[in-house]
Structure formats: C-alpha cells, structure tokens
Amino acid sequence: MTRSIDYGNLMHRAMRGLIQEVLQDVSDHGLPGNHHFFITFDTRHPDAQLADWLRERYPEDMTVVMQHWYDKLDVTDEGFSVTLNFGDSPEPLYVPYDAIKTFVDPSVEFGLRFENQDGEEEEEDEDDNDQPDETSAAKDADVVSLDSFRK
C-alpha cells in the first residue's frame, strides 16, 4: 500500500484552525467594526450541544448568527460555546469545529465551506448549479478560491 498526502483533511484542519483563531480574537476583544458571522453546523454531530427544542426544529443543520448580541463565547481546541438569543430566549450552544459546515463573514465577503468527507454532495448543492455560491469550495479538491471574496 502506498502512502499519500491527504490534502483534503489537512485543508479542513487548517480552515478549522482559522475559525478557532478568529473566534478567540472575538472572545478576547469583541467583534470589530461591521464583522459578523453566519455559522452553519450539523445538529446531528454527537458532540454538538443545543436545547432539545432547537434540535427538534433543526434536525439536520442550523445556521446561527453572531452579530449584535451573543454572550459567554468560550473557545477551545475542539469547539466553541456561546449563548445566543432565540426569540428573546437566551440559549447556550456548543459547536465542535468538525460539525461546522460553513463559516461566513459577509461584511468582508469571506466564507469557508466544508465538503462532506465521504465525497457525497448535499442535494441542494447539486440542484443549484445556476446560482454562484461565493462560499463554495471546488467540489473535487476541497480548495477554497479566495478570489470570489475579494472586493
């Protein structure tokens, strides 16, 4: 058996490290300027922690927004916890980095997308070929093109 370099997993680990660094900076200093995040994660991940009513409402994935109000942001090597407001009800969440599907900061047109490890694409990605997706990575190589995020 020949050894090979797993660029896909290496890239995912580097991208998750970037997310950790950004969130740690926000935890230490707050959100600068107009920065804000849309974070989509897999609610089925065994280490994801969220209220039962949220898991029932979002049985596969959920997008949270960190912008005007968030509390208790705690960043670790494995994931982050944060309290967010859902209809005037503060709810704590824990999101492991490997549960994150997309991380977008629309204020600077930056985004990361994590392709499925098993090579399967989500149906919505296959059916939406006529609309460009600025957060999309190249499907065959897990490469993120930063050109689409530049102003």
Q: pLDDT category, 1, cuts 50, 70, 90? A: confident
Average of per-residue pLDDT across 121-136: 37
Cα angle at 21 between 43 and 125, to 5 degrees? 40
pLDDT in tens, 45-94: 999 999 999 999 999 999 999 998 899 999 999 999 999 998 888 999 99
- How many residues in total does the chain contain? 151
- Say whether 147 sits in a helix, a strand or coil: helix
Q: Is the distance from CB of 33 to CB of 107 less than 8 angstroms?
A: yes
Question: Residue 145's pLDDT is what?
Answer: 43
Give dist(CA 113, CA 123) in Å, integer.
Answer: 15
CA dihedral 27, 32, 36, 37 (to 10 degrees): -40
What mean pLDDT, rounded, does the chain reach?
81
> Could you give the residue ranges of the DSSP H alpha helices within the chain?
7-29, 52-57, 123-127
Q: pLDDT category, 138, cuts 50, 70, 90? A: very low
Question: Residue 125's pLDDT is what?
Answer: 38
Give dist(CA 65, CA 73) in Å, integer.
Answer: 13
The CATH architecture to which 7-149 belongs is Roll (2.30)
Question: Residue 32's pLDDT is what?
Answer: 92
Q: Which residue has the tokens 């997310």?
A: 19
Average of per-residue pLDDT across 93-115: 94
Q: Is the pLDDT of residue 128 over 90?
A: no
Of the listed ranges 31-45, 81-95, 125-139, the one predicted with least confidence: 125-139
Question: Residue 124's pLDDT is what?
Answer: 37
